[in-house]
Structure 1
Amino acid sequence: MRVCVIGTGYVGLVTGACLAHIGHQVICVDNNEEKVKLMKAGRSPIFEPGLSEIMQSAIESGNIEFTTDLGAGVAHGEILFIAVGTPPLPTGESDTRYVEAVARGIGTHLNGGYKVIVNKSTVPIGSGDWVRMIVVDGVAERQKVLVTAGGTSSGEVVLEKLPAFDVVSNPEFLREGSAVYDTFNPDRIVLGSNNHKAIAMMKELYAPIVERKFAADQSLPPVPVLVTDISSAEMIKYAANAFLATKISFINEVANICDRVGADVTQVAKGIGLDSRIGNKFLQAGIGWGGSCFPKDVSALVHTADDYGYEAQLLKSAVSVNGGVSENWALQI
């Protein structure tokens, strides 16, 4: 299939390179010219085990290209991934300006056949309809320019037929340092859309991964594919990270109690981790959350809850345990 990945940060570059590796024709778009030159030379701008080798192999096979030309990428792709950053604002909510810019840019270039626009970026819950609206705005802006350029003097804007497209939420669950492995060996693939054609195209795209053709253990059953509405898919990403963050905060809370009663938290963690309902992952006391995803996503989820009039007390407590009690907790994470 023909794929365009817009944004070559951590998620975008890994996604594009891995999709090219399994046989798709991929164009990766980035507005940083120096970065694009680097990637064209087969060099990864980020360190991720196995990524450079996959990039070089895909370049040699002709399955991947890198460009600053968004129009070329949109024209090429049947499936267009939005994979730009959504960093946290001081309020705790996600900064979606880059997603908005890309969605509008897609609209200004959208033409021709049916496209599936995929939110790979971690976006606020409910963003699917918002992205669609921004794309439509971009289409309208382009058509207005064309009408003006055509010399229309009546002042009326004649809109063309809206190009056919649908928006899909496809959250990523990649870990830094094992992102290539995680792409080929996922626990699940989540697809959010109510459009059957869009879902069918996404299933075709991921078929080699679902069928474990590039997995470390190809004898395992197919990867579960969960199809939901867009908002539920967006929520799954936040809920998963919030749960793991809460699990870390929980064992750190237990560690504080262990210090006071003379218990060994490592033995306690081992004991509860052997319970199949709990598991032993994310029970290493004292390490805190670390990284960027957990604090950013928990903060965004709490902010969303506040927007809808609900106080997420458990999540706020998890933040306090992780970073220390503060009235300005949202500014700390």
Structure 2
Amino acid sequence: MKITKICCIGAGYVGGPTMAVIAQKCPHIQVTVVDLNEDRIAKWNDPNVENIPIYEPGLSDVVAEARGRNLFFSTEVDKAIDEAEMIFISVNTPTKTYGSGKGLAADLKYIELCARQIARVAKTDKIVVEKSTLPVRTAEAIKSILHNTGNGVKYQILSNPEFLAEGTAVEDLFQPDRVLIGGETTPEGEKAIQALVDIYANWVPRERILTTNVWSSELSKLVANAYLAQRVSSINSISELCEKTGADVNEVARAIGMDSRIGPKFLKASVGFGGSCFQKDILNLVYIAKSYGLHEVADYWEQVIIMNDHQKRRFAKNIVTTLYNT
């Protein structure tokens, strides 16, 4: 199946850069990024490409090359959904602040709204790709919304999590460690997976494109972030020990980082892990484990967050102490 038109719902930190790179690398595919936020779309369309709403090294060059050729930013969501053969959902999934799973589970209201909008608008078969970081089994929820519309449109749902780090997002897209694509293990599912593989294969070596079932793909994203966060919390726990014993945590990190089985990345002792994903994804993992009654598993990962919070409090306390407790 050859894809000629892609639509991405969500012109934020993930959708914008990802679609810009796909458009640049695949000039034969029309890529339309849609968002209800008119101000944000106006910034993506600003004639001065330096004014785009996301600053990432190299991103403005990519946008400058593809915009107007085969990359478009628009607020006409229905039109883009209707025309596209493949739709990426790239909207926000904050941690729930109310109701069941409050403080742990992801709030899927934006994802659900997207699915309902696609179900309402679509007249032809679509491949729907989850790009947002989602809790395991979200594809199931999207699927039940899409398949129960009764208008005869067939959908394939794929999971294609992003692995972008702030500051290196464009580089991460140009040369990813891996591209992960999860889909159904049916002939139709395989076809949909292949359609997305063919897009990435325009610039990513085939051996770096992993295909799995949907659940493996969704879970891999959470676990990758949890592992990275765990490393930060681990070295932070050692930083406290170093302060008490007179060791230098940077020297310790360098010594253990030279072990090829461990490696040097994510061993910088600091005030805790930054960014928006680690905390959110670990809480998600904790929630999933609890919902299956796996309390020891939940407690294990929760400890990473407890350590992180402890490090932040400790840092603040040090500042107060240094300022004579005033």
User: 2:135 aligned with 1:124, yes or no?
Assistant: yes
Q: Tell me the matched-pair count.
A: 293
Is 1:273 the counterpart of 2:257? The answer is: yes
Question: Does 2:300 correspond to 1:314?
Answer: yes
In structure 1, how many angstroms separate the alpha carbons of the residues matched to 2:92 and 2:104?
15
1:93 alignment partner in structure 2: 105
2:45 matches 1:40: yes
* Cross-structure match for 1:174: 164
Deviations 1:241-295 (A, max 9, x none): 0000000000111111122222221111111111111000011112410111111
1:228 aligns with 2:212: yes
Q: Compared with structure 1, are the counterparts of its residues 16 and 325 closer, same or farther at alpha carbon in structure 2 (3 Å cutoff)?
A: closer
Q: Contact between 2:34 and 2:75, CA under 8 Å: does it hold in 1?
A: yes
- 2:194 is the counterpart of 1:183: no
TM-score of the pair, normalised by structure 1: 0.84
Q: Which residue matches 1:219?
A: none
Pairs within 5 Å for 1:56-67: 56-60=64-68, 62-67=69-74
What is the 5 A alignment of 1:197-276? 197-211=191-205, 222-276=206-260
- Contact conserved, 1:242 with 1:298, CA < 8 A, in 2? yes
Cα contact 1:187–1:223 (8 A) shared by 2? no
Q: Which amino acid aligns with 1:201?
A: A
Please point out which of 45, 48, 53 is paired with 2:61: 53
- SS of corresponding position for 1:123: coil
Verify: 1:105 aligned to 2:89, yes or no: no
- Under a length normalisation based on structure 2, what TM-score does the superposition of the two structures give? 0.86
Q: Aligned to 1:288, which of 263, 266, 272? A: 272
Counterpart of 2:182 (choices 181, 184, 192) is 192
- Per-residue CA deviation, residues 10-63 of structure 1 (Å, 9 max, x unaligned), is 001011111111123101110012222222234411211222221121124x11
Deviation track 1:289-309 (CA, whole Å, cap 9, x = no partner) reads 011111111111111111111
Task: Tell me, yes or no, if structure 1 residue 80 matches structure 2 residue 87.
Answer: yes
Residue matched to 1:154 = none
Q: What CA distance in whole angstroms lies between the structure 2 residues aligned with 1:188 and 1:287?
A: 29
How far residue 77 of structure 1 moved from its aligned partner, in angstroms, is 1.5
Once residues 209 and 180 of structure 1 are traced to their aligned partners in structure 2, the CA distance between those partners, rounded to angstroms, is: 13
Q: CA 1:247 to 1:83, structure 2 compared with 1: closer, same or farther past 3 Å?
A: same
Structure 1: tracts of 5 or more residues without a match: 141-158, 212-221, 327-333
CA contact (8 A) 2:32 2:73 kept: yes
Q: 1:223 offset after TM fit, Å?
A: 4.9
